[in-house]
Amino acid sequence: MIVAIPVRTPTLAPATHTNTWVVGEGALSVFDPASPYEDEQARLLAELRVRIERGERVERIVLTHHHDDHVSGAEALRRALGDIPIVAHPETARRVSGRVAVDEAWEDGQSRVCGGVTLTAHHTPGHAPGHLVFQDSASGEVIAGDMVAGIGTILVDPDDGDLAQYLASLDAMRALNPTVLHPAHGPSLPHADQILAFYIAHRHQRTAQIGEALDKLGAATPAELAPVVYPDLPAFAQRFAAAQILSHLRWMKTHGLARPNRTDGRWEPVR
């Protein structure tokens, strides 16, 4: 059994919540207790306590990746429930160190039984270096973290993301033949393969648009490209768009399609 408890988080609009996924029966695994807000932490705890009163227990907390809108309720939940381990990829453990103490590594390819559900972790870097998705071997369903979203889009931030890795990870997810994707934001997504194929195509389409905008402008910074590539962008989203564009430009550089010029660092097309 895989159930969502959406909790309010400071996440990227239009999303307002992160799904905390509760997996299994009897011994529960709680994925991404995400909220930094005390009222939301209390609400998650109250929902878990209903099941604890029925004789179930929380066996572990698991983190899909290190971002604040995924990990910020982990230590509070552990404090409330007693001594339960927090589990994540070693790269995530390193990046949350000082905020969350990760006790156990969950490495690529390893399986754990989560209250009757066998989940296998798959390392899917690109949105975040330590990102893991988890596939239920019986149903094929995947806890997808921030690889896809049921609402809004996935930001590949050049600070800790990498577009080439992200695209390779989407391909790797397709190879798992998933049935349903359970994203961190928004509703679950059936027709998993169509969704993953769309995400890959959409990124390549965006790269093509950036190439066209560069051809038109001659040379431009990511911030100058943002209103051309994303014409209907609200003001708050400008810097996220510029970040996404920089990830694309770096991908284009490695593929010989664009380069930063030597004088002012503006990006220009390679012809």
| Interface with Zn ion (CB under 5 A) | 67, 146
**Which SS3 state, helix, strand or coil, does residue 181 take?**
strand
**Nearest approach, Cβ of residue 95 and Zn ion (Å):** 11
Any idea what DSSP says for residue 88? E
**Nearest approach, Cβ of residue 118 and Zn ion (Å):** 25
Nearer of residues 141 and 146 to Zn ion, judged by Cβ: 146
Nearer of residues 24 and 161 to Zn ion, judged by Cβ: 161
Phi, psi for 116 (deg, rounded to 5): 90, -10
Nearer of residues 67 and 78 to Zn ion, judged by Cβ: 67
Nearer of residues 126 and 269 to Zn ion, judged by Cβ: 126
Phi, psi for 74 (deg, rounded to 5): -65, -50
Reading the block at residue 97, the tokens are 């160190």
In a 13 Å sphere around the CA of 163, the CA atoms on its Cβ side amount to 23
Nearer of residues 58 and 100 to Zn ion, judged by Cβ: 100
**Nearest approach, Cβ of residue 220 and Zn ion (Å):** 27
Rounded to whole angstroms, the Cα distance separating 122 from 176 reads 9
Looking at the DSSP bridge assignments, the partners of residue 145 are 183
Nearer of residues 67 and 203 to Zn ion, judged by Cβ: 67
Selection from 151, 229, 213 nearest residue 183 by Cα: 151
Rounded to whole angstroms, the Cα distance separating 132 from 124 reads 5
Rounded to whole angstroms, the Cα distance separating 116 from 1 reads 8
Rounded to whole angstroms, the Cα distance separating 118 from 137 reads 6
Reading the block at residue 80, the tokens are 């409330």
**Nearest approach, Cβ of residue 127 and Zn ion (Å):** 6
Q: Which amino acid appears at position 77 of this protein?
A: L
